[in-house]
Structure 1
Amino acid sequence: MASIIIGSQWGDEGKGKLVDILSQDYDIVARCQGGANAGHTIVVDGKKIALHLIPSGILNERATCVLGNGLVIHLPTFFKEVEGLKQKGIKYENRLFVSDRAHLVFDVHQICDQLKEAELSNGASNDSIGTTKKGIGPAYSSKASRGGLRVCDLFHFDIFKKNLTRLVENKRKRFGNFEYNIEEELKRYEGYAEQIRPFVIDSVYFMNQAFKDGKKVLIEGAQSTMLDLDFGTYPYVTSSASSVGGACTGLGIAPNKIVNQIGVVKAYTTRVGAGPFPTELHGDEAEALRKEGGEYGTTTGRPRRIGWLDVVVLRYTGLINDFTELNLTKLDVLSNTPEIKIGVDYKYNGEVLKSFPASLEVLAQCEVVYETFKGWNTNLANCKSFDELPVEAKVYINRIEELTGRRVKWIGVGQDRSSMIIKP
């Protein structure tokens, strides 16, 4: 059966670290959605490894890694990451595979991503979505409008050439005659067709055969539930289903195959780009946490926005994903914070809301109700068990469990793979 690791906030919760740790016990690690707009940084023995497309499970040499049909893949980025694995001595041959049904991201998609953001901002940055400009949204748009190209199309290059030319012509009708050399792109992809061939599989058959053979599967979610196209703070969201439902459509597996939904929760909240953020902090307090937590995007390098933990968000994403367990990350970052808050409710027109509102207009008028906790002012780096944590940290964790109704099983107290406490 399968377990899935899902972000419970607006991304950057530290999912990659848990995937890396848990993948040691799994046969297959699969990604189901998103593209190179995802970013996972893993620290092993003090060395940082940043991944965008390739699952974090690649560091476990016993695990097979799969990029599922729900992804959109920019092949130059894929091959750059493969080269990075090779340089670090990480073996990937015969254990890294790409779905033949995955859609392709072209440079034209990235150009259109930038043009769309510029069009939205029009001099007012708060009107733009704040995408990574990696072409993900335009690629999913091509897919939804039935004009996209898939990995399997590379092996029928005459048809591929005709369809890519048509895609570019359609984008020029929409955005004008931007600079783009279609002949150079086609020449590159003719080479990529042979380069990618050893990685390509029928992932739907592969995944379902793996279940039939009794393999253990770990699904690595990208982005997070509050960025989900349906359930996030639309339109300030990603372009795919980044909650548990995306695993079924993005890998071609039935819902009953997923038996564990692990929610990853940062001990405070961050988000990158534009969009609402009810518990957001500003000024020196935000900057201190940003610096302490190294809160800069793995993919973009942009400084992340910082806020207190928001339990309204966690209860909402818990409903959608039915988390069986939680991984609380970056607890150590709060160690120098004398007073810590948790947003426990939203009030709108004087009444407490039952759940997270769909309307951004309503959300903008909500008042956050907070509970305040005493900080612990203690370095957690040497804590190896829950009992060794300061009492104030235990109070904070226990209250998160009470407010969410979910068990916290893993607690991150440092960057390294070994800095993870398992709560009894």
Structure 2
Amino acid sequence: MANVVVVGAQWGDEGKGKIVDWLSEQADIVVRFQGGHNAGHTLVIGNQVYKLSLLPSGVVREGKLSIIGNGVVVDPKALIDEIDRLGGQGVAVTPDRLRIAENATLILSLHRELEAIRESGASRIGTTKRGIGPAYEDKVGRRAIRVMDLADLPALRGKIERMLVHHNALRRGYGMGELSPETVYEELAGYAPRILPYTDSIWSLLDARRREGKRILFEGAQGALLDIDHGTYPYVTSSNTVAAQAATGSGMGPGSIGYVLGICKAYTTRVGEGPFPSEQDNEIGRLIGERGHEFGTVTGRPRRCGWFDAVLVRQTVRTSGINGIALTKLDILDGFKEIKVCVGYRLDGREIDHLPASEHAQAQVEPIYETIEGWDEPTAGARSWADLPAQAIKYVRWVEELIGCPVALLSTSPERDDTILVQNPFET
């Protein structure tokens, strides 16, 4: 029985919510291990639609323990708002259902303000302006306020003063007004009663549950191509999004990780700035975007769309150690007379089989496409291979060959039951 890590195999927005929800029914514990409320999952359960940003997808299911790990940066206001919103939908998020790592870093309003002013300049990278990056900067700069600090308010003022030495210098440089320690203290002290009941020593809790034989599902945010080390730097998020972070971001050893499931669309999308070799800034891209409803769950921003890039997914299969792929939104390609796939790049007159690490080189690569015949019959709602057109099956097999990884699940609509299971990650 394997513990399962779910990661995005592209730039995020691959449809992880549906897959994680499907897997969470089999899991005992669901753990978010990185990112913040810049993530977005849409879950459709019966007639109810849940939009989650910070809370793990398992939180809407009875009898499941959801955990926000130490690798996550937590905006207390956003967390409380999300808990209250779910409460309005009939989901009571109690400490029996949710635990938060005591050593997770907090996002404060000053982080949001700092990111917003940075993103208003010429050097913007297309962030969600939610303070994620500045909070991670404080974490590695060893000046962050952490969840556990809310439990010791008398000692909090000194930590705030230390943090403001850095932030007020930045605010002066950007022409912003300085903050007083008391203002930040009042903000944090107001959150403490709502946040503290959920806190726990997560590494210890998970170790005990693992030894009991509980099934653990690790849920990542964004995608592997937004990883701070392995993504399209500097147009990346501020955390490690690859599967190895599941161990670091939850306090479990790497031996506790079993099967890695990568999620990718049958085409490619990206939000924000940065390279996108197979982007179709034309009628094809617009058609994919319209049919796929490609707008960000968190921001509502339209996503850039293009053909499936096998080079990139093959690369993330390796950097995340992906064992199987969940291929989503195959139905969006229904009716295309021909479908292209990027199988390589051309850079400075030579062919290469990977995305180079250099920002300049990434901007210069040209896609090399191969074309396959499309299909007219619908794949939408298919729940078995027999329901799929032969040409659609051929496309899936071609993708498997190009990325060097088998398709474990195939998703053909947002409905959770419209899923073709090839290999159950929990039963490997």
SS at structure 1 position matched to 2:197: helix
Distance apart, 1:43 and its partner CA: 1.6
Partner of 1:219: 218
Partner of 1:111: 113
Partner of 1:162: 158
What amino acid does structure 1 have at the position aligned with 2:102? D
- Cα 1:46–1:339 change in 2 (3 A) is farther
Partner of 2:281: 282
Partner of 2:101: 99
SS at structure 2 position matched to 1:370: strand
What amino acid does structure 1 have at the position aligned with 2:59? I
SS at structure 2 position matched to 1:25: coil
Partner of 1:384: 383
Distance apart, 1:156 and its partner CA: 1.1
Where do 1:120-131 residues align within 5 Å?
121=122, 127-131=123-127
SS at structure 2 position matched to 1:251: coil
Partner of 2:200: 201
Partner of 2:80: 79
CA contact (8 A) 1:7 1:15 kept: yes
Consecutive unaligned residues in structure 1, runs of 5 or more: 122-126
CA RMSD of aligned residues (A): 1.5
Matches of 1:116 and 1:188, distance apart in 2 = 23
Partner of 1:375: 374
Matches of 1:210 and 1:350, distance apart in 2 = 54
Distance apart, 1:169 and its partner CA: 4.1
Where do 1:23-422 residues align within 5 Å?
23-93=24-94, 94-119=96-121, 121=122, 127-176=123-172, 178-179=176-177, 182=180, 183-422=182-421
How many pairs were matched up?
A: 418
Matches of 1:140 and 1:363, distance apart in 2 = 25
SS at structure 1 position matched to 2:262: strand
Distance apart, 1:405 and its partner CA: 1.7
SS at structure 1 position matched to 2:258: strand
CA contact (8 A) 2:264 2:327 kept: yes
SS at structure 2 position matched to 1:6: strand
Distance apart, 1:320 and its partner CA: 0.9
What amino acid does structure 2 have at the position aligned with 1:105? I
What amino acid does structure 1 have at the position aligned with 2:129? K
SS at structure 2 position matched to 1:369: strand
- Cα 1:392–1:213 change in 2 (3 A) is same
CA contact (8 A) 2:69 2:202 kept: yes
CA contact (8 A) 1:108 1:180 kept: no
Q: Deviations over 1:198-218 (max 9, x none)?
A: 100001111111111111100
Matches of 1:223 and 1:363, distance apart in 2 = 20
What amino acid does structure 2 have at the position aligned with 1:142? D
Matches of 1:172 and 1:180, distance apart in 2 = 5
Does residue 2 of the first structure (1) align with residue 12 of the second (2)? Answer: no
Matches of 1:44 and 1:108, distance apart in 2 = 36
Distance apart, 1:381 and its partner CA: 2.7
- Cα 1:387–1:423 change in 2 (3 A) is farther
Q: Deviations over 1:347-384 (max 9, x none)?
A: 22333224221012222222211111222133323422
Matches of 1:60 and 1:218, distance apart in 2 = 14
Distance apart, 1:171 and its partner CA: 1.4
Matches of 1:57 and 1:259, distance apart in 2 = 19
Q: Deviations over 1:108-153 (max 9, x none)?
A: 000000112223x1xxxxx421000000000000011111010001
Matches of 1:143 and 1:200, distance apart in 2 = 18
Matches of 2:61 and 2:337, distance apart in 1 = 39
Partner of 2:426: none
Partner of 1:124: none
TM-score (norm 1): 0.95
Q: Deviations over 1:234-253 (max 9, x none)?
A: 00000001001211110111
SS at structure 2 position matched to 1:43: strand
Distance apart, 1:76 and its partner CA: 0.6
Matches of 2:242 and 2:206, distance apart in 1 = 19
What amino acid does structure 2 have at the position aligned with 1:143? K
Runs of 4+ in 1 over 4 A off after TM superposition: 179-182
Matches of 1:48 and 1:287, distance apart in 2 = 26
Question: Bigger CA drift: 42-51 or 106-115?
Answer: 42-51
SS at structure 1 position matched to 2:189: helix
TM-score (norm 2): 0.94
Question: Bigger CA drift: 405-414 or 139-148?
Answer: 405-414
